[in-house]
Structure 1
Amino acid sequence: MLEGLAGVVPPRAVGNNELPAAWETDDAWVRRRTGIGVRHWVAPGVSTGDLALQAAVRALDVAAAAPPDGLDAVTPPPVDAVIVATSTPDRPMPAMAPQLAHRLGLGQVAAWDVAAACSGFVYALATAAGVIGAGIAHRVLVVAAEVYSTLIAPDDRGAGVVFADGAGAVVLRRGEHGEPGSILGFDLGSDGAGHELIEVPGGGALARSAPDRYTPADLHFRMRGRDVFQHAVTRMTLSSQVLLKNVGWSVDDVDRFVAHQANARILSAVADRIPLPAGRQIANIDRVGNTGAASIPLALADAAGNSRLHTGQRVLLTSFGAGLTWGSAALLWPHLAPVPSVHGVGGPVRSA
């Protein structure tokens, strides 16, 4: 059951007219191709872990303000496990989650990362639900955080106008099937044959074992935009349809639809092909850009903060990312304490 939610974006907002002159873009060009008006990039020295911490603190605060679950005679620890979904970790090793748990003062809880690119949040959500269902944990913190601005090549206009930085977090706890906050089902998939469509070629064991085959440019993000567009639309559409059938929902039953905020044209194409009734889709890509794994929880936090999500609504999530990976989830929206704005972050963060 979902009981806490929050999102953050860095204070630095970069409008389309502020993009590098060498990219030869203007506001109309970027909006027409992506639907994005503003994206947020971190300041020098700010890491993925810093954004993850801020989102986690906020989500835990929202969960702490929720009504008690009444399942334990003794007050449980804040969480029993921490899962971080990211494609932009602070370092290749170790995983980010143990350090995040330490910075939050959670003690020696289980903590690990999930690497499923822009599908990472849905994959991490499914992992958390499985951990809770298996009785391994009572309460799990899931954080999705990205600092894509550090992966973009200076001359890559295609990726540079789209990708951005941000983090979102949710707190899950054990609950009863069918109560508000319940996660009712998942659909997950992958196709490794498309692994080169979205990638960072360098920085891993392949490059270190054959350094003569790689250059510094291979440390930057690469994407074959047209191919990715078609895969994203097809995979998210089919995954959503499969999940709707599995949980017994019709398209008319879906009150809110939140897809990975990849590109406004992709979002419209998926909604049209499912097909969803008009007015059900939630999107904030115009104000935050594509924040990878963080995009779905950021969109949820933004919508919750603006009263676009209400207790008991049926919510469909779907995602697509590098790998290739995709995944969808269905949930009943919970009763949450007020969710703070995703904007205006950058002040002091509570530490252990």
Structure 2
Amino acid sequence: MNMNFILRGLGRYAPERVLSNADLEKIVDTSDEWITTRTGIQRRHVVADGENASDMAAEAARMALANADMDVSELTHIVCATFTPDSVIPSCACRIQEKLGIKGQMCIDVSAACSGFLYALQTARGYLLLEPDAKVLVVSTEVISRRINWEDRTTCVLFGDASGAAIMTAGEESDRPRVLDVMLEADGTLGDLLTVNGGGSAYAYKKDEPVGNEFFVQMEGREIFKHAVRNMVGISERLLERNGLAKSEVDVLLPHQANYRIIDAVGRKFDIPEEKVFSNIHEYGNTSAASVPLALSEAWDTGFIKPGNLVLIPTFGGGFTWGAGLIRF
């Protein structure tokens, strides 16, 4: 593939409202010590009343555009990764377009849960191959707090709301991050281990019917852990091999921020020292599709990622979906 895929700009947004572990102790039977030791999460951000997925995405997009020194009118495509869109129709991408004050761009949503950003990134690379002059907004945004049963202590402690964005173009800029490769896989036979069924056509509601537990995130945590670590490591090894790279050449491991135990296990499998593994799960919790671009933007801005670094990004999410990406900063 003889084209350079450039990340012209990165952006992120998290709601102002913060829900700490101490706050959760007042809602469900849990404790700060239990949550922290098992997940690494200390806080998570939750949307305000009237704040939606598209609002957060528009904020992250504006930051990415400013970072890219681009005007919003230059965008040609909007690819949004989410499983918590504002509505089924219009798509979240169309809602984002509206809130950015533009029209005419191609807009599409991608649903791959926690692997959503890499799936959207790969979609954007496909558009750029077809239209090399395109300028694509790739944005991931999740309002998981509205798909959580706040009486279920096994799930409500894990998730938060946020958005992350990237502007992708073709180009030769040597001072901008370059997406080297992305590899994606899925296994629908395992889908029932992590679900949000309610509202789908197979789980439709009748008028005035109460919402059931199927409307909320339901998951088998122990089974997911095993599949997540195995598949994140396996696909990352195959991606490195395809690009003629050794594990020792990875400067930064930036995994999907699902659970610190998963992050730590993946790092150990790769023999990557802790100081080279980026994690911000303590602050945001699991923000699903938003976690990777949120982490990328923060790691770049804080200097954790340095110019020239090779960044490996493994992900795993509902579906099951998983993937890995390589970015040279």
Q: What is the TM-score of this pair, normalised by structure 1?
A: 0.87
The answer on 1:49 being equivalent to 2:43 is: no
Counterpart position of 2:244: 248
Paired with 2:255 and 2:168, the residues of 1 have a C-alpha distance of 20
Equivalent residue for 2:29, pick from 12, 24, 31: 24
Change (3 A) 1:326 1:137: farther
How far the C-alpha of 1:177 sits from its partner, in A, is 9.5
**Partner-residue secondary structure (3-state), 2:240:** helix
Counterpart position of 1:340: none
**Partner-residue secondary structure (3-state), 2:86:** coil
The Cα offsets for residues 82-128 of structure 1, whole Å up to 9 and x where unpaired, read as 00000101112221112212221332011100000000001001111
Paired with 1:2 and 1:29, the residues of 2 have a C-alpha distance of 39
**Partner-residue secondary structure (3-state), 1:91:** coil
The Cα offsets for residues 149-173 of structure 1, whole Å up to 9 and x where unpaired, read as 0011121111111100000000011
How far the C-alpha of 1:310 sits from its partner, in A, is 1.8
Paired with 1:76 and 1:57, the residues of 2 have a C-alpha distance of 8
The answer on 1:199 being equivalent to 2:204 is: no
Paired with 1:214 and 1:292, the residues of 2 have a C-alpha distance of 27
The answer on 1:174 being equivalent to 2:170 is: yes
Counterpart position of 2:3: none
User: For structure 2, which runs of at least 5 residues remain unmatched after alignment?
Assistant: 1-5
The Cα offsets for residues 23-47 of structure 1, whole Å up to 9 and x where unpaired, read as 2222111101100111111112211
Change (3 A) 1:305 1:76: closer
Q: Is the 8 A contact 1:36 1:286 kept in 2?
A: yes
The answer on 1:112 being equivalent to 2:73 is: no
Counterpart position of 1:238: 234
> How many pairs does the alignment contain?
324
Amino acid at match of 2:325: A
Paired with 2:223 and 2:133, the residues of 1 have a C-alpha distance of 40
Amino acid at match of 1:14: L
The answer on 1:266 being equivalent to 2:262 is: yes
Paired with 1:184 and 1:221, the residues of 2 have a C-alpha distance of 33
Amino acid at match of 1:24: D
**Partner-residue secondary structure (3-state), 1:103:** helix
The answer on 1:145 being equivalent to 2:150 is: no
Counterpart position of 1:7: 12
Paired with 1:321 and 1:210, the residues of 2 have a C-alpha distance of 29
The Cα offsets for residues 171-221 of structure 1, whole Å up to 9 and x where unpaired, read as 01112498742211111000000111111121011122899x995222111
CA RMSD, 1 decimal: 2.2
Paired with 2:37 and 2:212, the residues of 1 have a C-alpha distance of 32
Equivalent residue for 2:44, pick from 35, 39, 47: 39
Q: Is the 8 A contact 1:240 1:274 kept in 2?
A: no
**Partner-residue secondary structure (3-state), 1:141:** strand
Paired with 1:99 and 1:261, the residues of 2 have a C-alpha distance of 26
Identity %, equivalent residues: 37
Larger mean Cα displacement after TM superposition, 91-100 or 273-282: 273-282
The answer on 1:165 being equivalent to 2:161 is: yes
Paired with 1:133 and 1:247, the residues of 2 have a C-alpha distance of 19
Counterpart position of 1:318: 314
Amino acid at match of 1:302: E
**Partner-residue secondary structure (3-state), 1:196:** helix
Paired with 2:173 and 2:74, the residues of 1 have a C-alpha distance of 22
* 1:78-89 aligned within 5 A: 78-89=74-85
How far the C-alpha of 1:278 sits from its partner, in A, is 4.0
Larger mean Cα displacement after TM superposition, 158-167 or 75-84: 75-84
Amino acid at match of 1:221: V
Q: Is the 8 A contact 1:177 1:184 kept in 2?
A: no
The answer on 1:296 being equivalent to 2:296 is: no
Counterpart position of 1:185: 181
Counterpart position of 1:59: 64
Paired with 2:121 and 2:145, the residues of 1 have a C-alpha distance of 25
Larger mean Cα displacement after TM superposition, 134-143 or 80-89: 134-143
Equivalent residue for 1:308, pick from 271, 290, 304: 304
Change (3 A) 1:205 1:269: same
Q: Is the 8 A contact 1:169 1:297 kept in 2?
A: yes
The answer on 1:94 being equivalent to 2:90 is: yes
Paired with 1:307 and 1:179, the residues of 2 have a C-alpha distance of 15
Counterpart position of 2:224: 228
Equivalent residue for 2:152, pick from 153, 156, 161: 156
Q: What is the TM-score of this pair, normalised by structure 2?
A: 0.93
Change (3 A) 1:134 1:177: farther
Q: Is the 8 A contact 1:178 1:184 kept in 2?
A: no
Paired with 2:319 and 2:7, the residues of 1 have a C-alpha distance of 27
How far the C-alpha of 1:309 sits from its partner, in A, is 1.5
